[in-house]
Structure 1
Amino acid sequence: MLDIAHITLRGALMYRLLLGAAIAATATSAFAADAVAPIVMEPELAQPHISGYVEAYLGGLYLTSGGEHESATTAGGAGRVNFPIDPRWNIQADAFVDSLWVQSQNLDGYGGAVHAYWRDPSSYALGGFTSVTGYGGDVVSGENLYSFAVGPEAQAYFGNVTVYGQIYYGQLRATGQSEHFDNWGGRGVVRYFAQDNLRFDAELGYSRISLGGESLNTVTGALQAMYRFSGTPLSVFGRYQLDHVSSPGSSGSLNVHKFVIGLRGSFGSDTLLDEDRNGATMDTYRPNFILPLL
């Protein structure tokens, strides 16, 4: 009987130990889950980073005025880099060069721009810019001509559409001379993304150069298509731009047609849409004939 009682007692003790261990294990698991839960957080948003692109183009110009025609070859390029200061404030720096050759003479425009703006990638961007352009080549040899422009700019985002507006005031000057030409203008651009890597642009602009009572008006229209190869930084694009130049009181006018194809290499962005909303999205007006008074 003693042995049976002893075995029974041992069995009861073992049962209680197992039951206690199960309760302890359950409590430990619950405690561990509570301890780990605060550590499991929502994925962090991507931090702002430097991005931009470099592009180059080659094409031709076709000029018509009073029944006369002239053609020219053109080439150029640009580089733009966006520097985020924080998740919303950005500084973008641009550098560009444009050249054309006509009747064995050439004209060059080269310069840069700085944009400062606040951007919400889901809504809009608002800021301002300043640009400086120098001119060289056979046509303006020894003149030391340059121009500058400054003004506000803004973008609004509607799904796969970006609307971009920009107005500016500037001057065309010669180094060491006080006399100058005033330049007022504005432009509007609509960018439509048929796909994340397929972008279409339509642009309309106006510019007025004046000195005293004389002025020269330019109306600009442009269409552009760009495609970025998926998984690569490379894009190809084609652009057509028409500048219609006229002067009040004059019966003559000048039409400058520009056709170009180009190649762009981007960094810090995954798609053209990502580049537009999070990268180097600003630009500046560049006339077909490079020099605003040509």
Structure 2
Amino acid sequence: MYRLILGAAIAATTTSAFAADAPVVLDQELTQPHISGYVEAYLGGLYLSASGGHSTSTVAGGAGRVNFPIDSRWNIQADAIIDSLWIDDQNLYGYGGAVHGYWRDPTAYALGGFASITGYGGDSLGFPDVYSFSVGPEAQVYVGNATLYGQVYYGQLRASGSSEHADNWGGRSVVRYFALDNLRFDGELGFTRLSLGGEHLDTVTAALQAMYRFSDTPLSVFGRYQLDHVSIAGENVNIHKYVIGLRASFGSDTLLDEDRNGATMDTYRTNFVTPFL
């Protein structure tokens, strides 16, 4: 139906919630290093619109992230993700993970790099196993009760058994604002370009997120709206995704503590896979 888009899968964090909580603590103490992280799952819908019509699908997925402090400043974080959708009686999915290595002062900033790999599959796709990988630097700056997060990356999209590949590069910026220690709002902007044989598929991403963690518990509720505007050869496709979900954290007391002392890094999770290979 949509030859430009073979699939959509991948979205992640955040939902609006309203409740009283303790005020945000702006001066973060350097906590004793310890392992921390979270697992989360989401469910939602996707709406795809193009000049030829539109389509809807159900989406679901999840992620798990664990931060391993090497000492009081150096950290290694490991991620695992899975995202799936059902469209036109087909199931399409992405799965993979990432590793981050970074130096962090929880009162000022974090600086490091990451590498990720993602595989794609589904019903009756008609081509070999497809996977992508990316590498790049990332940094966070902590300004009071806000976190400024940026990444740039380069990678490739490949098919098993093929010598051809598509180059992929991009960047993203995220602002996290903690209205309360356990109430977090996010805004995200990103751009990525996938190139093969002189053709370019450009994606501009915009997302809004919110998350609330229940006081004195490890549980958070979240929701996210993400828009991917995809352009190729003069054609444009808009992919809207809405999700809600649940997160269970360990090794942290609040969302702000998790952001400054725990598993704070993540990676770009696009909504689509393309049939270039």
> What TM-score results when the alignment is normalised by the length of structure 1?
0.82
1:90-239 map, 5 Å: 90-140=75-125, 143-239=128-224
Q: Does 1:64 align with 2:41?
A: no
Q: Which protein is richer in strand relative to its size?
A: 2
**Structure 1, unaligned stretches of length 5 or more?**
1-43
User: Contact 1:209–1:292 at 8 Å: present in 2 too?
Assistant: no
Q: Which amino acid is the alignment partner of residue 71 of structure 2?
A: D
> In the aligned structure 1, how far is the partner of 2:275 from the partner of 2:90?
17
Q: Does 1:281 align with 2:269?
A: no
Q: Which amino acid is the alignment partner of residue 285 of structure 1?
A: Y
> In the aligned structure 2, how far is the partner of 1:142 from the partner of 1:292?
11
User: Contact 2:99–2:115 at 8 Å: present in 1 too?
Assistant: yes
> In the aligned structure 2, how far is the partner of 1:243 from the partner of 1:82?
29
2:34 pairs, out of 13, 36, 49, with 49
**Structure 2, unaligned stretches of length 5 or more?**
1-28
1:259 pairs, out of 242, 246, 257, with 242
1:8-27 map, 5 Å: none
Q: Which amino acid is the alignment partner of residue 244 of structure 2?
A: I
- Structure 2 equivalent of residue 272 of structure 1: 255
Q: CA deviation at 1:65?
A: 0.1
Q: CA deviation at 1:46?
A: 3.7
SS in 1 for 2:55: strand
> In the aligned structure 2, how far is the partner of 1:105 from the partner of 1:236?
29
Q: CA deviation at 1:176?
A: 1.7
> In the aligned structure 1, how far is the partner of 2:69 from the partner of 2:275?
36
- Structure 2 equivalent of residue 15 of structure 1: none
Task: Label 1:128 to 1:292 Cα distance change in 2 as closer, same or farther (>3 A).
Answer: farther
User: Contact 1:107–1:139 at 8 Å: present in 2 too?
Assistant: no
User: Contact 1:162–1:191 at 8 Å: present in 2 too?
Assistant: yes
Higher RCO structure (Cα 8 Å, ≥6 apart): 2
Task: Label 1:292 to 1:49 Cα distance change in 2 as closer, same or farther (>3 A).
Answer: farther
> In the aligned structure 2, how far is the partner of 1:165 from the partner of 1:66?
33
Q: CA deviation at 1:67?
A: 5.1
Q: Which amino acid is the alignment partner of residue 220 of structure 1?
A: T
> In the aligned structure 1, how far is the partner of 2:52 from the partner of 2:208?
25
> In the aligned structure 2, how far is the partner of 1:224 from the partner of 1:293?
30
Q: Which protein is richer in helix relative to its size?
A: 1
> What TM-score results when the alignment is normalised by the length of structure 2?
0.87
Q: CA deviation at 1:107?
A: 0.5
Give CA deviations for 1:206-240 in whole Å, capped at 9, x if unaligned. 00000121110000000000000000000000100
SS in 1 for 2:257: helix
> In the aligned structure 1, how far is the partner of 2:275 from the partner of 2:172?
18
Runs ≥4 residues deviating over 6 A: none
